[in-house]
Chain A
Amino acid sequence: MAFTAFASQATVEQAPRKRSWIALVLLLPGIAYLVLFFLAPLISLIITSFQQPVLDGDIGEYTAGFQWQNYTDALGEYWPLVLRSFGFALIATVLALAVSYPIAYFIGVKARRFPLLQSLMLTLVIAPFFISFLLRTLAWKQIMSDEGPIVQFLKTIAILPSDGHLTGTAFSVIFGLTYNFIPFMTLPLYATLERLDTRYLEAGADLYASPFTVFRKVTVPLSMPGIISGTLLTFIPAAGDYINASRDFLGSSSTAMVGNAIEANFLVLQNYPIAAALSIVLMAVILIIVGLYVRRAGTEDLV
């Protein structure tokens, strides 16, 4: 299962064989919570995704049915958006990893001797959380606006054509996704790199491995749990994100992601079956991708 990725590397102790009713009782609130707030909505969502419109009904009127065509309709209409979502999420995840790894490495390994610097830098990574996600995204929209400094500079050095712009393009949406999920990537990476035993690196160098080989053969495998949890924490929410790609934030009608299609169908068109079918497709695809990924990059053969 995907969640083993988050488990620690410590050897699993044999669970006590004795049946414990106390444990079951303690589990009860958790199970009740899951049934009420996960299982029931999920079943409701599945039922909704098969609903059919009421004949001559008003807007948003649907009745129970088994209209599996909702799925083919939803995919037929929105498959480019589904593809785009996963493409954007993938690029954003890779970019976030590329940006976060050096940061996490610096904080977790290089800055070990300076605890004050270490905690200061960690605070800086977490600091954006003190401001609302929406406000930060809107701020970027302002910064990247046509008359803003970035666009003007890019036009001056002729990287951007004179009628070019950044907001409402794939660039700004991927940028927003990357920016917003960097802390989710950095923190798990930091947590594993912080435990990295630097004596392994010394040993690698003593055995005449180049710094790059040591990084590739020692550091990366040892930080794999952090990489996996970081990429999952970034990729999953990024694929379903609808704020960055929303027309009111960094997107436009050419950058809509599947989340925007779900939102439009649910809130504007009141086409609940299509919205539900799209949500289930999104969930299923994420589950498959993550399952394959964890199987391939699973931690068990890395230790």
Chain B
Amino acid sequence: MALKPPTDPMILQAIRHSQALQRARALSLSRRGFLGAAGFGATALALAACSTGDKKELTPAKDVSATEKTLVWDNWPAYMDEDDDGNYPTLIGFQDESGIEVTYNVAVDDNNTYYAKVKDQLALGQDIGADTVCLTDWMVARLVRNGYVQSLDHANIPNIANLSDSFANPDFDKGRQLSLPWQGGFAGICWNKEKVPNGLASVDDLWDTALKGRVGVLSEMRDTMGLIMLSQGTDITGEWGDDEYANAMDAFTEQVENGQIRNIKGNGYLNDLQSEDTYAAICWSGDITSLNATAGDKWEFAIPDAGGTLWNDTFVVPMGSAHKANAEAVMNYYYEPEVAAELAAWVNYVTPVNGAKEAMDAIDPELASNQLIFPDESTLETVHVFRTLTPQEENDYQAQFQKVLLGS
């Protein structure tokens, strides 16, 4: 039987009613659809925000240094000479001499944290908010490996001739085409002279039961593990692998778990030394000189007899920086021996600039003979650079280290 359109007015009304209902449903469906679309939009947004994207060769930003006389420089705390009013005398000298206005930010507190903050911009070759930054050499090695930094024009840095030979050819950047050291230092051991009158000679002395619960170590994996590996006879510069690291890890874990090591910290370890929560620590060379100057001459630093680590905080210019020539100008300025000496007299770290020692003789002969600022050949022989790790090793070793730090 063929269907006829209904004619009964009541049925017609019922149909109209059901159609209206359907429309309403369709409407609500479309509203749900809209919500779905909004959700999808948010998802896409999120994906865009966190996707790593395809790796492509980054290109340097166009250098506008010639017209824009500005420079933003991110650096670590207490790494620039400072007068009583909080001004930076050497930096003011540079601004007067070059006419480049420098915004100096104390923005680096930790290599990993700083990297975590800027890594997305770095990976896209975008401006990270700084034209140049000083990071520790192993982190610089990572930036170099990923192609995140611009190559330096040595013609703009004639003072590079003053670069000390011991810093000229790191394994990640032979000939310093992409990076230039700012200041360096050693990790070694230090102790409170009143509480540990006999002093310490080696990392093993830190594990003396008399110091139980009074030892601090650094949360910088390469320094703490580096010193322990050296004390176990491993050459940290050369060929070593998982086994050597595991041995050092065992020793480290044992000392943390039995309570010998009180705490594992970054820059905060100085507070513990000062409040005498710790009597001895693995520490950074320049800090102890500064601490003695501000809190009474109470601490002594030594490179352990099995050797210490040597590290460098190093200038790089990220791909997104549009002021590379200005950055090169500031590097060139700090490679003047006189400027380097003035800086070193304040920050107390190892200067990579040849001739600074002679310049220092004029400022303060006592500092000029300080092995922690101007190490001679025999001192340099006792300190070693932790070899560059592959990404897989870095992930693995850092994870093991953090596992102990979190007690998990």
- A residues near B (Cβ < 8 Å) are 35, 39-41, 43-44, 47-48, 51, 54, 56-64, 77-78, 80-81, 138, 141-142, 145-148, 163, 165, 167-168, 247-248, 252-256, 260-261, 264-272
Chain A residue at smallest Cβ distance from B212: A163
Question: Which of B223-231, B239-247, B263-271, B378-386 lies at the interface?
Answer: B263-271
A264 and B406 contact, Cβ closer than 8 Å, known pairs A47-B50, A247-B265, A270-B112: yes
Decide: B405 and A59 in contact? CB cutoff 8 A: no
Among A57, A81, A252, the residue within 8 A (CB) of B262 is: A252
Chain B residue at smallest Cβ distance from A145: B275
A35 and B42 contact, Cβ closer than 8 Å, known pairs A59-B395, A261-B406: yes
Chain A residue at smallest Cβ distance from B111: A268
Chain B contacts for A146, CB-based, 8 A: 214, 275-277
Q: Does B402 contact A (CB under 8 A)?
A: yes
Among A63, A148, A248, A256, the residue within 8 A (CB) of B275 is: A148
Chain B contacts for A252, CB-based, 8 A: 262-264
Decide: A269 and B145 in contact? CB cutoff 8 A: no
Decide: B142 and A59 in contact? CB cutoff 8 A: yes
Chain B residue at smallest Cβ distance from A44: B46
Q: Does B119 contact A (CB under 8 A)?
A: yes
Decide: A270 and B213 in contact? CB cutoff 8 A: no
Cα separation A163 to B259 with both chains bound (whole Å) = 11
Give the total number of A-B pairs whose CB atoms are below 8 A apart.
127
Cα separation A292 to B167 with both chains bound (whole Å) = 62
Decide: A261 and B46 in contact? CB cutoff 8 A: no
Chain B contacts for A62, CB-based, 8 A: 52
The residue among B112, B145, B277 with the most chain A CB atoms within 10 A of its own CB is: B277
A59 and B391 contact, Cβ closer than 8 Å, known pairs A40-B42, A81-B406, A267-B112: yes
Chain B contacts for A39, CB-based, 8 A: 39, 42
Chain B contacts for A41, CB-based, 8 A: 46
Among A61, A77, A266, the residue within 8 A (CB) of B408 is: A77
Decide: B47 and A47 in contact? CB cutoff 8 A: yes
Q: With contacts A47-B43, A147-B275, A260-B406 known, what are 16 further pairs, Cβ within 8 A? A: A43-B43, A44-B49, A57-B52, A59-B391, A64-B47, A141-B275, A145-B275, A148-B275, A165-B277, A248-B265, A248-B266, A252-B264, A253-B263, A253-B404, A253-B407, A256-B407
Chain B contacts for A142, CB-based, 8 A: 275
Which of under 10, 10 to 19, 20 to 34, or 35 or more describes the interface residues of B?
A: 35 or more
Chain B contacts for A35, CB-based, 8 A: 38, 42
Looking at the assembled complex, report how far the CB atom of A75 sits from the nearest CB atom of chain B, in whole angstroms. Answer: 11
Cα separation A269 to B405 with both chains bound (whole Å) = 12
- For the residues of B in contact with A, the DSSP-based class is helix
A163 and B49 contact, Cβ closer than 8 Å, known pairs A147-B276, A267-B116: no
A247 and B264 contact, Cβ closer than 8 Å, known pairs A61-B52, A78-B408, A256-B407: yes
Looking at the assembled complex, report how far the CB atom of B175 sits from the nearest CB atom of chain A, in whole angstroms. Answer: 24
Cα separation A39 to B275 with both chains bound (whole Å) = 45
Cα separation A15 to B391 with both chains bound (whole Å) = 60
Q: Does B219 contact A (CB under 8 A)?
A: yes
Chain A contacts for B47, CB-based, 8 A: 44, 47, 64
Cα separation A267 to B263 with both chains bound (whole Å) = 19
Q: What 1/0 flags go to B187-212 for Cβ under 8 Å of A?
A: 00000000000000000000000001
Decide: B407 and A48 in contact? CB cutoff 8 A: no
Q: List 27 A-B contacts (CB under 8 A).
A: A40-B45, A43-B42, A47-B47, A57-B52, A58-B145, A58-B146, A58-B391, A60-B116, A60-B119, A77-B403, A78-B408, A81-B408, A145-B276, A146-B277, A147-B276, A163-B212, A163-B213, A165-B277, A167-B277, A247-B268, A252-B264, A253-B407, A256-B407, A264-B405, A266-B116, A269-B395, A269-B399
Q: Does B394 contact A (CB under 8 A)?
A: yes
The residue among B45, B113, B256 with the most chain A CB atoms within 10 A of its own CB is: B45
A253 and B399 contact, Cβ closer than 8 Å, known pairs A58-B391, A59-B391, A248-B266: no
Q: Does B51 contact A (CB under 8 A)?
A: yes
Chain A contacts for B262, CB-based, 8 A: 165, 168, 252
Looking at the assembled complex, report how far the CB atom of B170 sits from the nearest CB atom of chain A, in whole angstroms. Answer: 19
Chain B contacts for A138, CB-based, 8 A: 271
Cα separation A165 to B398 with both chains bound (whole Å) = 29
Looking at the assembled complex, report how far the CB atom of A63 sits from the nearest CB atom of chain B, in whole angstroms. Answer: 6
Cα separation A41 to B50 with both chains bound (whole Å) = 10
Chain B contacts for A59, CB-based, 8 A: 142, 391, 394-395
Looking at the assembled complex, report how far the CB atom of B247 sits from the nearest CB atom of chain A, in whole angstroms. Answer: 20
Cα separation A261 to B256 with both chains bound (whole Å) = 17
Cα separation A81 to B402 with both chains bound (whole Å) = 13
Cα separation A254 to B408 with both chains bound (whole Å) = 8
Chain B contacts for A163, CB-based, 8 A: 212-213
Cα separation A47 to B394 with both chains bound (whole Å) = 25
Decide: B213 and A165 in contact? CB cutoff 8 A: yes
Looking at the assembled complex, report how far the CB atom of B395 sits from the nearest CB atom of chain A, in whole angstroms. Answer: 6
Decide: B264 and A253 in contact? CB cutoff 8 A: yes
Cα separation A62 to B53 with both chains bound (whole Å) = 10
Cα separation A82 to B161 with both chains bound (whole Å) = 55
Chain A contacts for B268, CB-based, 8 A: 247-248
Chain A contacts for B391, CB-based, 8 A: 56-59
Cα separation A146 to B214 with both chains bound (whole Å) = 9
